[in-house]
Each structure stands twice: as C-alpha cells, then as structure tokens.
Structure 1
Amino acid sequence: MIGAGAFWALTIGLGVGTFLIRFSFLGLLGGRKLPDWLLLHLKYVGVAVFPALIVPAVLWPAATGGATEAPRVIAALLAVAAGLRYGPFGAIGAGLVALYAGQALL
C-alpha cells in the first residue's frame, strides 16, 4: 500500500492530467472549425475503437478465464445483424436476449 500523501499526490496528478487532455480538445479547439482532412479522419475513430473494445470481451472474456463460448459469439453476430437493420437499440436488445437465451439453452 502507498501512503496517504502519495495517494493524494497521485490522485491530484491524474485529475490534472485528465483535465488537460479533455481541455486540449474542448477548450482549445471547441470554438474553432477543424480542417476538412481532420474531420474526415475523426469520423473513423469510433469505427476503430468500438470493435477494439467489443472483440476481446466476446472472444476472450475474463468471466470464462479467456475461453471462447458459443453463446457470446452467436449473440455478437445477432447483435451486429440487428444493429444493421434496427440501429443501436435493436443491437443492444437482440444481443442481450440472444446472450441470455444462449447461456440458458447451451
């Protein structure tokens, strides 16, 4: 364990760092028009980050010790299909129902 002084110094340092990261985008660039080339590249940030967050949770979930389970993969595929047809809320609903039904049946 660390001492109380080190804990608070670390907490305040992380808070200041987080503030500066957010301020660099919101405070410094918030009121300005960004160049078109940058806006083009920023469109793809969500498309790149979202699968990077989801795929490890589906293929190597910590809840199973890293073992891939069929219900998780099937639910993810159904969620993608529902998302393409019905949007984000359809994807969430279909994935949730498919995961719980798959775990109950398999």
Structure 2
Amino acid sequence: MQHVKLTRIFVNVWAIGRDPACWKNPDEFYPERFEHDADIDFQGLNFELLPFGAGRRICPGIPMGVMSVEFTLASLLHSFDWNLPEGMTWEDVSMEGTGSRQIVSRSTALYLVPSLYK
C-alpha cells in the first residue's frame, strides 16, 4: 500500500487584490480594473476574476446579482412605454459602442422618456 501525501495551497486573494505593486489605488472601488479583451466567464472558470472565487468556493451572490439585474431591467422595459425626447428622431440615435467584449458602453448617451401605458 502506497502512502500519498497531499499538499493544500491557500491563495490569499485579498492580499493580491490590494497589492500596490500590481494595482493603482488598490483600496478604491475601481471595477474597470477587471476589464480584459479576452472572453472571460464570471461564473468561476477564469482566474482573472479571482476576487469572486472559483470552483466550489465561488461567490454565492453571483446568481442572485445576475437575476436581480435581469429582473429589474425586464420590469422597467415591461412597465413603461419608452420614447425618444421631443425633437429627436430614430436617425439621431447612435448605436456605436466602446470598450472590450465583456463591458461595452455606448459612445453617446441614450436618453429615453418613460411613460405609463394607458
């Protein structure tokens, strides 16, 4: 019978995320520091997002956060009739975006006027 020795490694993600040699202003909330050009899955399969955990130790709030954002957006879209501001036409709306694949923001702000269904 062979004896197998196992080694357990603990990674101090808190210290990595607050190392001033790696991050500028490590103690400030700066979510853009997690932007990457690659396709990164926030469900724990990529180690670029270690502060949120991985594998069995992943952040338990991720599903609730995703569901809350989707539900809130769906409720807003469903509850209101969305129109452009007065004097603006659909040709004036720019659909160009900037950013990486994971986080894309509009080049110009989109202004809409909500009105209740009648």
Q: TM-score, normalised by structure 2?
A: 0.26
Higher helix proportion (structure 1 or 2): 1
Higher strand proportion (structure 1 or 2): 2
- Structure with more relative contact order (C-alpha pairs < 8 Å, separation 6 or more): 2
Q: TM-score, normalised by structure 1?
A: 0.28
Task: Tell me which structure has the larger Cα radius of gyration.
Answer: 2
